[in-house]
Amino acid sequence: MFHKKTILIFLFIISNASYITAQILNIDREIEIDSVHKKRETYINLSFNTDKLKKELIDLSVKLESDLFFKNNYVLIALYSNDVTLNGSEFIQNQGYLHLRFRDNEKRKYSSESFIQYQWNGALGMKYRQLIGNNLRFKILEKNNFDFYSGIGLFYENEQWNLNGTDITSDPNQPDLFNRQLFRLNSYFKTAYKINDNLDISAISYLQFPLNSNVLNARWFFDLNTTLKIGKNSNCVIHWDNTYDNYRLVPISNYYYSLNIGLQFKF
């Protein structure tokens, strides 16, 4: 008889399918500024899931965002995300990223934003992807409950992949690690809408063009968050993202998506 049990941190259910990196920030949401100005804000998303058949199947997801505000209306944003799936002591999945960004706190019409990122995805075969770059950010529209921004810039990408995510059988006479370094043109649009005091939506769409002979093979990334306030410092977050990339270093699927529901806490 099949026996299944699910234990969730804070009694909440997490739904996850083909998870990939999320880039929308809490600071990008259209929310009210605290009446008492804080120098720092921290958000944490947590979920835990366990199933039992022959072995214990454990899924743990953690996302942290810490925002450090400066008097000149700039902000330093630090992000950490990690999703791990274990079947007994065996890793089925280990993916995540570290991201650091310095940018305007949505005060200037034109501003510069700089960023660095380290990313990995064991199931797909991404050993690492390192990014460093800069964007010119444009404020197109800013109202009490709605905003719209765009940006354009350049970043350098250094990545290493293996064949874990492919159907190719490893050949000792062929390389099993693949490396690529290139520059990409980066463009994005970001919007946020506060429907009421308890519900807001934020979204961002990226197009990233390789600056070589494959310049038309752009990578498209879309990220959407719906945030429902359930307490003074807690939210329910419904997250969707997808990536289409026709210029892969190894032969894996061009399209991936993620649907994720979880709890968020603010400190």
What is the pTM for the complete model shown?
0.80
Nearest C-alpha neighbor of 262 from the set 227, 233, 231, 212: 227
Q: Which sequence spans correspond to the domains of the chain?
A: 9-266
In one-letter notation, the amino acid at residue 120 is: W
* Backbone torsions φ then ψ of 118, nearest 5 degrees: -125, 130
For tokens 């953690």, name the residue.
62
Confidence bin at 227 (pLDDT 50/70/90): very high
pLDDT (tens digit, 9 = 90+) per residue, 146-160?
A: 999 999 999 999 999
Overall CATH class of domain 9-266: mainly beta
